[in-house]
């Protein structure tokens, strides 16, 4: 005979099984988007709580007392996958997940930068990101029938190597690597990888010339 207690136990087992299924699915998807390779998928399957956590931490950081460097450091340690105390990040800052953003060392991230880290964003040492820079791993289908659902997205990692300067309001798209020591001009849209040691600019961004000793500022010009 089926009792009410038996029904309740069965219901609890079913709920527990479903919860475990969701947890396993979440772990698999999070692990996948942390990989250093492109993907295409349904964004609705990415656990919303992961993004909600990043939004909360960004909200707290952007409203933090500018003089409270201890709290700022604590928030960024919790937000980023790899963080160093020598990273200087200005508000307003926004990202998708945070755990996919990795700093190797000193970096300056100026005001109003956005990082859509649906794939890993790897930022080298001594990197300067000007105001309004966007690092966008995420994309959408080009074919309109796929795109109109609003659910499908593509994503590919971004790598900014050591000693790179990206000028104000430049956008770097998914799958791009910017080589060591290069400079990206303000307002550029970088859709393809840029080699090391060059000046590149434009929409779309293209290499203008190599950087040379002639680009050094004459020390006598420094006033302070």
- Domain extents for the chain? 34-211
Q: Residue 204: what pLDDT?
A: 98
94 has catalytic annotation:
no
Q: Contact at 8 Å (CB) between 178 and 164?
A: yes
Instruction: Report residue 146: phi and psi, to 5°.
Output: -70, -35
Q: pLDDT tens digits for the chain (224 residues)?
A: 556 555 566 555 444 554 444 444 445 899 999 999 999 999 888 888 989 999 999 999 999 999 999 999 999 999 999 998 999 999 999 999 999 999 999 999 999 999 999 999 999 999 999 999 999 999 999 999 898 887 899 999 999 999 999 999 999 999 999 999 999 999 999 999 999 999 999 999 999 999 999 999 999 999 99
Q: Is the peptide bond before 92 cis (omega within 30 degrees of 0)?
A: yes
Q: Contact at 8 Å (CB) between 83 and 77?
A: yes
Q: Residue 1: what pLDDT?
A: 55
| Contacts of 184 by beta carbon, 8 Å cutoff, 6+ apart | 164, 165, 166, 167, 170, 172, 178, 190, 194, 200, 201, 205
Give the Cα separation of 223 and 215 in Å (integer).
18
Pairing of strands 152-155, 138-139: antiparallel
Q: Contact at 8 Å (CB) between 29 and 51?
A: no
Q: Residue 138: what pLDDT?
A: 96
DSSP labels for 183-220? Answer: EE-TT-EE-S-B-TTEEEETTTTEEEEE--GGGSPPGG
Q: Residue 77: what pLDDT?
A: 97
What class has domain 34-211?
A: mainly beta
Overall pTM > 0.85? yes
SS3 136: strand
Residue 19, classified by CB atoms within 10 Å of its CB into exposed (0-12), middle (13-18) or buried (19+), is exposed
Q: Residue 47: what pLDDT?
A: 87
Q: Residue 120: what pLDDT?
A: 98
Tokens for 7? 């029904």
Q: Residue 7: what pLDDT?
A: 54
- From the list 74, 170, 172, the residue with the least C-alpha distance to 119 is 172
Rg (CA), the chain: 22
């Amino acid at each position: 005979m089926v009792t009410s207690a038996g029904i309740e136990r069965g219901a609890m087992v079913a709920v527990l099984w479903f919860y475990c299924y969701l947890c396993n699915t979440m772990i698999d998807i999070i692990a996948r988007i942390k990989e250093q390779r492109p993907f295409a998928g349904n964004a609705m399957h990415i656990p919303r709580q992961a993004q909600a956590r990043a939004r909360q931490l960004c909200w707290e950081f952007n409203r933090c007392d500018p003089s409270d460097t201890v709290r700022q450091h604590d928030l960024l340690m919790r937000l980023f996958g790899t963080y160093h105390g020598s990273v200087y990040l200005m508000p307003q800052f926004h990202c998708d997940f945070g755990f996919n953003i990795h700093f190797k060392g000193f970096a300056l991230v100026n005001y109003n930068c956005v990082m859509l880290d649906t794939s890993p964003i790897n930022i080298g040492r001594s990197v300067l990101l000007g105001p309004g820079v966007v690092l966008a791993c995420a994309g959408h289908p080009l074919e309109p029938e796929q795109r109109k659902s609003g659910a499908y997205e593509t994503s590919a990692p971004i790598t900014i190597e050591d000693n790179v300067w990206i000028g104000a309001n430049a956008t770097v798209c998914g799958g791009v690597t910017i080589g060591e020591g290069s400079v990206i001009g303000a307002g550029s849209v970088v859709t393809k990888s840029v080699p090391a040691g060059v000046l590149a600019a434009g929409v779309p961004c293209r290499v203008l010339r190599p950087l040379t000793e002639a680009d050094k500022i004459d020390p006598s010009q420094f006033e302070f």
